[in-house]
Structure 1
Amino acid sequence: MKNVLSIQPHVVFGHAGNSAAVFPMQRLGINVWPLDTMQFSNHMQYGHWAGSAIDPPQMAELVEGIGAIGMLRRCDAIVSGYLGSKAHAQAVMDIVRAVKATNPEAWHFCTPVIGAGAGASVDEYLLETMPALADGLSPTHDTLQKLVGRTIETVDEAVHACREIIRSGPQVVLVKQLVDRNSPADRVNLLVVTEREAWMTQHPRYPFARQPVGVGELTSATFVARRLAGDPLRTAFEHAVSAVHAVLKATYAAGRYELELIAAQDDIAKPREWLGAWAIGAPT
């Protein structure tokens, strides 16, 4: 069984951060070690929340505790998401280095959340450090543009941008909410790129009154879980997008705002509606 250290915020009510990522990975047969960087009553899009962030030194202490009992070497991957301060971001970087020092085969899959209210210093730090340390990145379209410092309007431009980032360190870049001027407005584009492969797929854009939070975390979690299970890049990508679509479909059908992870759990494990991906361009 594979083990994932998931370093993300936690909400008591609803699904965001670890509350959106842990269960899907477990449902896919992954043993998850949640390290909650924040403990909030609910996610911040409600406009009101209670709770607090963990002290960054305590994050390191918790991981050192895992190492002290000899278990850190069993960590196969680290998943990191939203970070509320530069100190939290630095703590994650230190943890990644510590895990890799114990198990060089462990890989780090990072969702660099830029411009989400954490502050300019956090954004700058993530832009400068994450690409070089992460084995995989999962930016939104807007974050991808910030990572390469230019506007991206087409899929081909996005592939070139991803490969530019890959040359700085990561092995794979999964772009969520890719904006392509040639795609229909009622579809959501996703793209995954390595040095040699590029695959794109789409799922329907449901007309939610308020877009659910936690979709990005769900996408990353299912992709990482399937890669750890041995799926090839394309299959893991298709599974992740198909699972996300199933959850969104169930959420919209139920008239809910929070993701229907429990109701759609069988489709997370084995999607009934499989969304295939198609190859984009040739290696550069």
Structure 2
Amino acid sequence: MIDRSVAYRALSIQSHMVSGYCGNKAAVFPLQILGFDVDVLNTVQFSNHTGYPSWTGNRLADTDVQELFDGLEKNGLIDDYTHILTGYIGNYAILDTIKRFVLKLKSVNPNLIYVCDPVMGDWGRLYVAPEIVPLYRNILQVANVVTPNQFEAEILADIKIDSLVTAKEAAKKLHFLGVSNVIITTLKVPFKDVPSEIRLPTATDESLYCLTSQTDPQTGSPRQHLIVFPTYRGYFSGTGDMFTALVVARWQEELKKSSPSLAAATKLVVMSVNAVTRRTWENQVKHVKKLTNGEVEYLDGKPSTPALVRCCELQMVQSKLEIEKPEMVGETAIKMTQL
């Protein structure tokens, strides 16, 4: 469990939505439940996330972000940070500004933990400026944990992931670029590649997995694990942001042990995220049938109306127990094996 006698203060830098759970809205609540004070820097403020048909709002410039950093520093407010979390940034100048600030914070506190979610794209589509990719490669030297999805791992490592072997190689390449702990959060590999002892009965070639890779401090070799979990047919937004926030807390929990295990920390994260996803899916099924007069049972792909998107928002508050104590209420079908 998180040691609540220790004061942890995290700075979470990413997007913000007035309505719904995405970006900081999906990250702050889980961290607070697990005992973290959270300072929030919103690089984007939108009315709602971009899964809706429309949205309004604005973005900060790099000078705005630097001004906020300067204000924190002037008042002596940067000395207490124990953790930094970054999610979607999307702007090269802001990301570079953040990198310089993280380096400054690490000079103040060499034990500061930086968990970086290199949000750049998904399933073959890059939705940030291409020049951000090499900057993230450089940031890997500063980060303690990085949480790319499969596509992001591919472009950072410059390796096409089409098997478990290439997934492991991609993680090793990220280690080579400077980061000791890698979690590929959503990984699709052929069913035949999955070790038989953790295969789920319902799994197919389209199933998703999570791969962890941790550099052994003694040997320098990576310890790699594969985690399997059930998936649900529906539309979900913000799960990645919640995932990375939970990594901050669960990895800190592991660091109190003599031999911290990234895989053990990640399994708890997967249990929580999967439980929230299941609760969200159950809510979707109930409301989608009502909103479509029974014509649609499950959502496939992006919903077409604001009402449908809204019923897909993460059931975050309702899942407080699943976030706090996943080992008590988490999905028993979640399994893990060392590769």
Given the alignment of the two structures, is residue 56 of structure 1 paired with residue 62 of structure 2, yes or no? yes
Equivalent runs, 1:195-274 vs 2, <5 Å? 195-196=215-216, 197-208=223-234, 211-230=235-254, 232=260, 233-255=262-284, 256-271=311-326, 272-273=329-330
Equivalent runs, 1:20-169 vs 2, <5 Å? 20-115=26-121, 116-126=126-136, 128-169=137-178
Partners of 1:103 and 1:67 in 2: how far apart? 14
Are the counterparts in 2 of residues 238 and 274 from structure 1 also a CA contact under 8 Å?
no
Query: Deviation of residue 66 (structure 1)?
Result: 2.2
AA matched with 1:253: E
Larger mean CA deviation between 155-164 and 142-151 belongs to 155-164
AA matched with 1:240: V
Partners of 2:140 and 2:174 in 1: how far apart? 7
AA matched with 2:119: V
User: How many positions carry a matched residue from both structures?
Assistant: 278
Partners of 2:50 and 2:139 in 1: how far apart? 24
Partners of 1:172 and 1:39 in 2: how far apart? 30
AA matched with 1:63: F
Larger mean CA deviation between 78-87 and 116-125 belongs to 116-125
CA root-mean-square deviation: 1.8
Secondary structure of the corresponding residue to residue 278 of structure 1: strand
The match for 2:291 is none
TM-score (norm 2): 0.77
Query: Deviation of residue 187 (structure 1)?
Result: 3.8
TM-score (norm 1): 0.91
AA matched with 1:129: N
Partners of 2:263 and 2:318 in 1: how far apart? 26
Partners of 1:274 and 1:129 in 2: how far apart? 37
Are the counterparts in 1 of residues 159 and 170 from structure 2 also a CA contact under 8 Å?
no
Secondary structure of the corresponding residue to residue 179 of structure 2: coil
Query: Deviation of residue 132 (structure 1)?
Result: 2.3
Are the counterparts in 2 of residues 234 and 277 from structure 1 also a CA contact under 8 Å?
no
Secondary structure of the corresponding residue to residue 24 of structure 1: helix
Secondary structure of the corresponding residue to residue 73 of structure 1: coil
The percentage of aligned residue pairs carrying the same residue is 27
Partners of 1:163 and 1:242 in 2: how far apart? 25
Partners of 2:248 and 2:275 in 1: how far apart? 18
Cα 1:274–1:207 change in 2 (3 A) is: closer
Partners of 1:134 and 1:45 in 2: how far apart? 29
Deviations 1:30-53 (A, max 9, x none): 111111111110111213111001
Q: Which runs of 5+ in 2 are unaligned?
A: 1-6, 195-202, 217-222, 285-310
Secondary structure of the corresponding residue to residue 47 of structure 1: coil
